[in-house]
């Protein structure tokens, strides 16, 4: 089969011919119907040799931690899913046995790393291939009648902002202001979720006029350029602040200056992006009573809830389609900030 693989540190990914995998006992093979490209993949492919080695991901590695497919073959003992079923892969898999996992919070399993359990496409072969193996049927969420290509990105670009917003609900009361920084794959879904789930005034920040227009199209009440004047402009045109919650889908020191300028007593500072940060936290480093969070992906039941938001038309992902052959071009556009919404590879 064909697979889009990261082969050598620092080099662009390549489409390669690899053996079609067979499901072992308890495993499920999917015929992949769509796979999304995330900035986290770009982040991983931007690591130096030394940093990549520290992550411990094998090479070559098939990319893609957003995946949907049709159940194609069952390993011995698998009964919970049926051949032909359309399913989505829950990525942040845990051990499946501890209390967080029992609650569906496999994204916070304390044992996964030590057990060598990694998400598809981030340590284990992922979804950017004609077929993929899923370790356990509990990780497969029924897609039902949702279109695979239009909805595959919900497995991360939907689930991660949903988990982030849900954790801030107590802050997002009527009259509050929520700020979304970075209206890309995750951020444009975050804007829609804030509109669907809260009565907050939603303000978006990004770096180009076309992104600001996009932010307004998906429901932002206001959109401004993300620069050193952003907090001032929000104070003048939206209100004096502080923001109730700031969702940062970039997270680097420059952007954190904006996050802090928007924050005050009791702001929820939600840092989702994977940029590097050097910053003092604690009583002398941040507004009194503010909260800094670094949410990771989301829970298994939350993915089901995200699909309900899609099913009821409250959230849609703007997707740009690519063939597997054009997968490297999808990552190039993602890296260069040229996408509107999410790049989805259809094998």
Return residues touching ligand NAD (CB under 6 A): 38-40, 43, 156, 160, 181-187, 205-207, 211, 226, 249-250, 254-255, 272-274, 295-297, 334, 337
Residue 36 C-beta: closest distance to Zn ion, Å: 8
Residue among 155 and 290 whose Cβ is closer to Zn ion = 155
Residue 251 within binding range of Zn ion, rule CB under 5 A: no
Stretch that binds Zn ion, among 33-41, 102-110, 208-216, 269-277 (CB under 5 A): 33-41
Residue 156 within binding range of Zn ion, rule CB under 5 A: yes
**Count of C-beta atoms within a 10 Å radius of residue 321:** 13
Instruction: Give the integer Cα–Cα distance in Å for 139 and 291.
Output: 31
Residue 38 within binding range of Zn ion, rule CB under 5 A: yes
Residue 317 within binding range of Zn ion, rule CB under 5 A: no
Residue 86 C-beta: closest distance to Zn ion, Å: 21
Look at residue 274 and give the partner it binds from Zn ion, ligand NAD, none, a contact being a CB closer than 5 to 8 Å depending on partner kind.
Answer: ligand NAD
Residue with tokens 């307004």: 216
Instruction: Give the integer Cα–Cα distance in Å for 118 and 95.
Output: 10
Residue 268 within binding range of Zn ion, rule CB under 5 A: no
Residue 282, token pair as written in the block: 């604690």
Look at residue 184 and give the partner it binds from ligand NAD, Zn ion, none, a contact being a CB closer than 5 to 8 Å depending on partner kind.
Answer: ligand NAD
User: Would you call 93 exposed, middle or buried from its count of C-beta atoms within 10 A (0-12, 13-18, 19+)?
Assistant: buried
Look at residue 183 and give the partner it binds from ligand NAD, Zn ion, none, a contact being a CB closer than 5 to 8 Å depending on partner kind.
Answer: ligand NAD
Residue 93 within binding range of Zn ion, rule CB under 5 A: no
Estimate to the nearest angstrom the gap between the alpha carbon of 262 and the chain centroid.
24
Residue among 167 and 264 whose Cβ is closer to Zn ion = 167
Angle, alpha carbons 329-332-338 (nearest 5°): 105
Residue 100 C-beta: closest distance to ligand NAD, Å: 15
Residue among 143 and 272 whose Cβ is closer to ligand NAD = 272
Residue 40 within binding range of Zn ion, rule CB under 5 A: yes
Residue among 2 and 300 whose Cβ is closer to ligand NAD = 300
Residue 197 C-beta: closest distance to ligand NAD, Å: 18
Instruction: Give the integer Cα–Cα distance in Å for 140 and 142.
Output: 6
Residue sitting closest to ligand NAD (CB): 184
**Count of C-beta atoms within a 10 Å radius of residue 221:** 17
Following DSSP, what letter does each residue of 113-140 receive, concatenated? TTTT---BTTTB--SSBSEEEES-GGGE
Look at residue 249 and give the partner it binds from ligand NAD, Zn ion, none, a contact being a CB closer than 5 to 8 Å depending on partner kind.
Answer: ligand NAD
Look at residue 181 and give the partner it binds from Zn ion, ligand NAD, none, a contact being a CB closer than 5 to 8 Å depending on partner kind.
Answer: ligand NAD
Residue with tokens 């298994």: 300
**Count of C-beta atoms within a 10 Å radius of residue 182:** 26
Phi, psi of 172 (to 5 degrees): -95, 60
3-state secondary structure 65-78: CEEEEEEEEECCCC
Residue among 70 and 207 whose Cβ is closer to ligand NAD = 207
Residue 211 C-beta: closest distance to ligand NAD, Å: 5
Q: Please report, as residue ranges, which positions from 200 to 219 form the binding site for Zn ion (by CB under 5 A).
A: none
Residue among 86 and 155 whose Cβ is closer to Zn ion = 155
Q: Which residues are CB-contacts of 327 (< 8 A; sequence separation ≥ 6)?
A: 4, 13, 15, 37, 63, 128, 345
Which run of H or E residues covers position 87?
A: strand 86-89
Which run of H or E residues covers position 172?
A: none
Residue 35 C-beta: closest distance to Zn ion, Å: 11
Q: Which residues of this protein are in contact with Zn ion, per CB under 5 A?
A: 38, 40, 156
């Amino acid at each position: 089969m064909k697979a889009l693989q990261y082969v050598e540190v620092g080099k662009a990914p390549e489409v390669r011919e690899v053996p079609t995998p067979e499901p072992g006992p308890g495993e499920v093979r999917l015929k992949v119907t769509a796979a999304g490209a995330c900035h986290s993949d770009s982040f991983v492919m931007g690591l130096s040799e030394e940093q990549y080695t520290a992550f411990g991901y094998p090479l070559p590695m098939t990319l893609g931690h957003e995946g949907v497919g049709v159940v194609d073959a069952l390993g011995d003992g698998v009964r919970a899913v049926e051949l032909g079923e359309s399913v989505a892969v829950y990525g942040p898999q845990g051990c499946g046995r501890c209390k967080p996992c029992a609650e569906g919070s496999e994204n916070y399993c304390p044992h996964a790393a030590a057990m060598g359990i990694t998400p598809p496409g981030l340590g284990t072969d992922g979804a950017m291939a004609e077929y993929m193996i899923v370790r356990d049927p509990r990780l497969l969420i029924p897609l039902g009648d949702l279109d695979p290509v239009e909805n595959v990105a919900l497995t991360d670009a939907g689930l991660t902002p949903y988990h982030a917003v849900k954790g801030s609900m107590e802050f997002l009361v009527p009259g509050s202001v929520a700020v979304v920084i970075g209206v890309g794959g995750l951020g444009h879904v975050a804007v829609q979720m804030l509109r669907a789930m809260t009565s907050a005034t939603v303000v978006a920040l990004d770096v180009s006029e076309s992104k600001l227009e996009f932010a307004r199209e998906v429901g932002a009440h206001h959109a401004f350029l993300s620069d050193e004047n952003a907090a001032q402009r929000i104070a003048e045109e939206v209100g004096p602040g502080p923001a109730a919650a700031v969702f940062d889908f970039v997270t680097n020191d420059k952007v954190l200056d904006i996050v802090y300028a928007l924050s005050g007593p009791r702001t929820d500072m939600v840092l989702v992006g994977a940029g590097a940060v050097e910053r003092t936290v604690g009583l002398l480093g941040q507004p009194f009573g503010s909260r800094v969070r670094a949410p990771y992906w989301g829970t298994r039941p939350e993915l089901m809830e995200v699909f309900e938001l899609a099913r009821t038309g409250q959230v849609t992902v703007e997707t740009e389609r690519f063939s597997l052959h054009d997968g490297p071009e999808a990552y190039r556009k993602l890296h260069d900030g040229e996408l509107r919404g999410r790049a989805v590879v259809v094998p």
